[in-house]
Amino acid sequence: MLGANGPESWIWWSWVGDHLGDIGTAVREHLELTAIAVALGLVIALPLAIVVHRWRAWTTPVFAVTGIVYTIPSLALFAFFVPVTGLSRTTAEIALVGYTLLILIRNTATGLAGVSPDVREAAQGMGFGPVAQLLRVELPLAVPAVIAGIRIATVTTIGLVTVTALIGQGGLGDFILDGLNRDFKTPLVVGTVLSVALAVTADLLLLLLQHALTPWSRRRTA
Amino acid sequence: MRKRRGAAGAIVALVLLLSAAACGDDSGGGTSSETTVAKGSVTVGSFNFSESVLLANLYAQALDGAGYKTTVRANLGAREVVFPALEKGEIDLVPEYLGNALAFVAKDEAKPGDDEAATVTKLKAALEPKKLSLLTPSKATDGDIIAVSKATADKYNLKKISDLAPVAKDLTLGGPPECPTRITCGLGLDQVYGLKFKAFKALDTGGPITKAALEKDEVQVARLFSADAAIKEKSFVILDDDKFIQPAGNVVPVISTELVDDEITAVLDKVSSTLTTDDLTTMNTKIDVDKEDADKVAHDYLVEKGIIKG
Amino acid sequence: MRFLGDVVSWFAAGEHWRGADGIPHRLTEHLLMSGAAVLAALVLALPAGVVLGHLRRGGVAIVNLANVGRAIPSFALLVLAYFVFGIGPEPVFLTLLALGIPPIVTNAYVGVSEVDADAREVARGMGMTGGQVLRHVEIPLALPLVMAGVRTAGVQVVATATLGAVIAWGGLGRYIVDGFAQQDNVKIFCGALLVAGLSVGVEIGLAFLQRLTLSPGITGRRTTMAVASAVPGAAAHASLSPAVLNERKEQTHAET
C-alpha cells in the first residue's frame, strides 16, 4: 500500500506530468462538446419556450416529448442514432442537445410566466406590441430563470459527455474508458476528478454570471 | 434588450475563456509530420486492444520516418467495425492477423489445418475484389487461444480443447462480446467442438477484465491472446487447439491497393520482418503492466532496431 | 424501411426470448438490480433524511452531499467501483446505491423540514409530542416530496444500470454494448428501445405512485381550501391527515 508512486497507484504523478498535453486536449474536447450542446439546445429551446408561453395548448406535447427524451438513458439515446449517423460527433451532439431541452424549455417558460401582470400591463400601456413586449420586457426579465436553466443543463451535459467515449468521442470519458481497458487507475482518477471539477466550476461561474446580470434580484438560489 | 445581448455575449465569452484555459499542447497519440518530399498520407487503424494499438503505431511511425504523413486511429473497435472502415476507405492500413482475417473475410475458405502459405493465398484472393492488398506476413504471431486456470486444468485433467466436451456444461466461457458469433471463438467451440457451455460472459478482448475473471473463477474458460505475458505469470494453461479453429496468428499489414508501391511495401516489410513473437510479448508487457504508452514503446523499439532515427 | 422490418423481426425471433441472453432474463436482471438498489437506498437514506428534517439539523451537509453526488458522472463511478470490487453485480449495486441516496435523503429532509410551520404549530397546540408531530403531520405532508425523490432516484438508477454492461454485467444494456461490438445495428437499436421503454415505464409508474401520496386536502376540494383559508386555524384543519382529524373530532366531542 505504501509502495512507491507508480503505475499501480491511484494517481501516478509522473504519468500525469507526462501527459498534461493529452489531458488539456481532453478537457478542451469535453468543453467543446458541452458548449455546442448547450448552445444548440438554447437555440431550439428559446423559441419552443416562447411558443409554449404564448399558446398553452402546446405545453403538453412539448413537455411530453422532451420529457421522454430526458428519461431515456444516455447510452440508449446514443444507440438510437448510431445506425443513422454513425460513431460520430453528430450522434453525440444530437443526443446531448436532446437532453438539454426539457430543462431549458421548462426554465425559460417558467421565467416568462413569472413576469408579473402589472409589468405586462405597463408595457402595453406604453404602446409595446406583443413582439416588442416579448423582446424588451418579458425575455430580459426571464433572464435569471434562463441562466438557472443553462446552469443545470451545463452541469448535466458535462456528466453525460463522459458517456460519449463509448461511441468514440473524446473528452474526459476517454480517460475513464482507457483506465478501464488498460486496468490503469490513474487516467480513471484524472478523468473523474476533472469532470467533477469542470462541473463544479461551470456551475459556480454561471451562478456568478446569473447574479451579475440580475442585480435587482438577490434571491437565495438552491 | 441590452441585458439579453449582454447575457448572450457573456456566455460566449465564458465558453471561450474556459476553452482557452483548457488548451494544452496537442500531443500526439498518432504521428504526423511535415516533410519536404511530398508523399501520400496514410491513415492506420487499430482494433480495440493494446497490442493492436502498438502494431498500428509501429507501422505508422515507420512510414512517418520514411516521409509519409500518417495518422493513427486507435481503438476503433473489433474487426466488425474496423474491416468495413477499411473497405470504405476511412482507414488505409490495418495490422491484421492472418488466420483471423481470413475467417472474417471469407469464412468458408478457411479450413482447419491450413498452413501459413495456404492461408496467405486464400486471403489474398479474398481481399483482391475489395481493392485490398496483403503484404508479407511477419514471423511474429499472436493468436487467439483458449485458456483455463491451473486449478481447472488439474481438476478436469484438461490438455486440449476437446477435453472440455464432458465438462463444458458446468463451465462458463468468457470472451469478447463478439465471441459467440465468431467461428474462431464461441461459434467454433459450439459447431466444431460441440461444446455446450453453461453460460457465456461478455468481457473484453483478451484484456484485464477477462484475465481477472479467469483468475477469480468468474469464468472457467477464457479466450486470450498467446503473446500475453500474463499467461505464464498467472499460470494459466493454454488448451491445445486439436480441431484447428484457431487460425495462424501471424501479424500482417492489410493495405488499400491504390496505396501500394515498392517503397511503401519496403518500409512495411521491414517492420514485419524485424518483429518477433518475443518482441511482441516484451512490448505487450511494457504496455499492459508498466502502463507505458503504446506510441512511446513503438518509437523506442523502432529506434533500437534502427528502422527510424531517434 | 427495411431497417424497421429488421427491428420487428428481431423482437419476433423466438430465440431472443429464451435463455440467459433473452429479453425476459435481461429485463428481470435489470429490474431486480434497480429495485434492490432503490430499496437499499430507501432503507439507508429515508430514516436519516426524515429524522434530520424533523430536527432541522444537517441541512447544509445534505444539500452539499446531493450537489457533489450530482456532479460525479455515473460512468466514472461505475468504473471506480469495478476497480475496487472487480466484476459481477457488486460494483453495479454499490454504484446504483450511491446514486440513489442523494435524491432520497435530500427530498426527505426538505419535505419534512419545510412542512408548513402553521400545521406544526397547530399540532403542537393540540398537545402532540415531537414524535407524534412527525408521524401524523410531517411525514404525511412530506410524502409527495419524498415520493418525488424516490422517483428521481428510480429513474436515475434504471438509467445507470444500463451502463453496467460496460463493466461486464448484464441487464438490458448488454444488447447495446454487444451490438456495438458485433456491429449489429439492429441489436443496438432494439436494445435502445427496450431500455427506453423500461425507463419511461418506470417514470410513469413512479409518477402515478407520487400522485397517490398527495393528501386529498391538497389535491382536491379546492373551494373548501379557499374558504377554509379565510378562517385562521381552519386552514390547518384542511391539510391535516385523516388520522389527526379523527383524533380531533374525538377531542371536540369529549369537550362538549
Task: Tell me, rounded to whole angstroms, the distance of Cα A53 from its chain centroid.
Answer: 22
- Measured distance CA(B153)–CA(B176) in Å, rounded: 22
- Whether residue B249 has pLDDT greater than 70: yes
Task: Mutate one of C15, C21, C182 to test the B interface: name it (highest B CB count within 10 A).
Answer: C182
Angstroms from A60 CA to nearest CA on chain B: 28
Instruction: Return the pLDDT at C216.
Output: 64
Cell triple for residue C106?
435530500
pLDDT category at A29 given cuts 50, 70, 90 is very high
Q: What DSSP assignment string belongs to B25-71?
A: ----SS-----SS---EEEEEEESSHHHHHHHHHHHHHHHHTT-EEE
pLDDT in tens, C34-65: 999 999 999 999 999 988 888 888 888 887 88
Cell triple for residue C215?
393528501
A75 with C188: Cβ contact below 8 A: no
- Whether residue B9 has pLDDT greater than 70: no
pLDDT in tens, C170-210: 999 999 999 988 888 899 999 999 999 999 999 999 988 88
Tell me the chain B residues in contact with residue A136 when contact means C-beta distances shorter than 8 Å: 1
Q: Name the more confident of B128 and B12.
A: B128
Q: Is the distance from CB of B252 to CB of B96 less than 8 angstroms? A: yes
C47–B contact, CB cutoff 8 A: no
B284–A contact, CB cutoff 8 A: no
Q: What is the mean pLDDT of residues B5-24?
A: 49
Identify the closest residue of chain B to A137 by CA–CA distance: B1
Task: Quote the mean pLDDT of chain C.
Answer: 80
DSSP helix/strand/coil, A1: coil
Instruction: Return the pLDDT at B68.
Output: 94
Neighbours of chain B (3+ CB pairs under 8 A): A, C
- Measured distance CA(B34)–CA(A15) in Å, rounded: 28
pLDDT category at B108 given cuts 50, 70, 90 is confident
Cell triple for residue A52?
409554449
Nearest by CB to A7, from B3, B50, B290: name it.
B290
Phi, psi for B219 (deg, rounded to 5): -125, 150
- Measured distance CA(B28)–CA(B85) in Å, rounded: 22
Instruction: Return the pLDDT at B16.
Output: 54
Tell me the chain A residues in contact with residue C83 when contact means C-beta distances shorter than 8 Å: 179, 185, 188
pLDDT in tens, A152-211: 899 999 999 999 998 888 799 999 998 998 889 999 999 999 999 999 999 899 989 888
- Measured distance CA(B228)–CA(B108) in Å, rounded: 29
Q: Name the more confident of B9 and C71.
A: C71
Q: Name the more confident of A222 and A109.
A: A109
Task: Mutate one of B291, B293, B296, B297 to test the A interface: name it (highest A CB count within 10 A).
Answer: B291
pLDDT category at C223 given cuts 50, 70, 90 is very low
Exposure letters B256-272 (e unless 16+ CB within 10 A, then b)? beeeeeeebbebbebbb
- Whether residue A66 has pLDDT greater than 80: yes
Q: Which residues pair with B147 in a beta bridge?
A: B222, B238
pLDDT category at C113 given cuts 50, 70, 90 is confident
- Measured distance CA(C192)–CA(A91) in Å, rounded: 14
B22 with A31: Cβ contact below 8 A: yes
B202 with C86: Cβ contact below 8 A: no
A139 with B290: Cβ contact below 8 A: no
> Which single residue is written with the C-alpha cell 469542470?
A198
Tell me the chain B residues in contact with residue A22 when contact means C-beta distances shorter than 8 Å: 24, 27, 29
Instruction: Return the pLDDT at C247.
Output: 34
Nearest alpha carbon to residue B42 among B55, B34, B32, B54: B32
Q: Return the H-helix or E-strand segment holding B254.
A: strand B251-256
Q: Return the H-helix or E-strand segment holding A148.
A: helix A139-161
Nearest by CB to B208, from A7, A39, A183: name it.
A183
pLDDT in tens, A77-87: 988 888 888 77
Task: List, in sequence order, the alpha helices (H) in A20-116.
Answer: 20-54, 59-71, 74-85, 89-113
- Specify the range with the lowest mean pLDDT, choosing from B19-33, B165-179, B242-256, C87-101: B19-33
- Whether residue A215 has pLDDT greater than 80: no
Angstroms from C71 CA to nearest CA on chain A: 5
- Specify the range with the lowest mean pLDDT, choosing from B10-24, B81-95, B124-138, C192-206: B10-24
A140–B contact, CB cutoff 8 A: yes
- Whether residue B6 has pLDDT greater than 70: no
Which residues fall within 8 angstroms of residue A137, CB to CB, at 6 or more apart? A115, A119, A120, A123, A128
Task: Return the DSSP state at B136.
Answer: P
Distances (CA, A) of B110 to B120, B189, B294: 11, 15, 32
